[in-house]
Amino acid sequence: MSSKDFTAEIAALGKQLYEVKYQCQACHTIGSSGGYVGPAFTNVGNWLNPAWIEAWLRNPQALIPDTIEPRHEFPESEIKALTAYLLTLKQTAPVSRRAGRASLRPAYAGSALRRGSGSSTSSATGGAK
């Protein structure tokens, strides 16, 4: 299933399931609220895809055998709704006008890109050539 298949209504149902029926916030944090037993979900929509979330909700131990996440017998409609909600949880990095796109690159990107590029003075490649 693609994230295009999810509607705002389905995501709203997923939020209700997350907060009320299953109380996932007891273990997972969104923003500054929730528990700290499981991973934070503040930005989960940017780093997980629908297929992985659905597989996790069906059987977390199949993906990570020693996880403490309990296995629920979610109906397929609830798996779809929870997935839709989790995909809405996206955090965008603030970009200043002066910094532009450069502020989105990790600080190490420049040095990593230069490794092995043939520069004559690269300590990352073991010294001068």
The mean predicted confidence, pLDDT, of the chain is 79
Does residue 42 sit within a domain?
Answer: yes
pLDDT top residue among 82 and 105: 82
Mean pLDDT of 68-78: 97
Does residue 21 sit within a domain?
Answer: yes
Q: What is the pLDDT of residue 9?
A: 97
Q: What is the pTM of this model?
A: 0.70
Does residue 70 sit within a domain?
Answer: yes
Cβ burial, residue 113 (10 Å; 0-12/13-18/19+): exposed
Domain count, the chain: 1
As a whole number of angstroms, the distance between CA 80 and CA 6 comes to: 8
Mean pLDDT of 102-120: 36
Which range of residues forms the domain containing residue 60?
A: 10-88
Mean pLDDT of 79-90: 98
Q: What is the CATH number of the domain that holds 47?
A: 1.10.760.10
Does residue 105 sit within a domain?
Answer: no
Angle between helices 76-88 and 8-16 (to 10 degrees): 100
Does residue 1 sit within a domain?
Answer: no
Q: Is the pLDDT score of 115 beyond 90?
A: no
Radius of gyration of the chain (CA): 20
pLDDT top residue among 92 and 43: 43
Does residue 69 sit within a domain?
Answer: yes
Does residue 25 sit within a domain?
Answer: yes
Does residue 19 sit within a domain?
Answer: yes
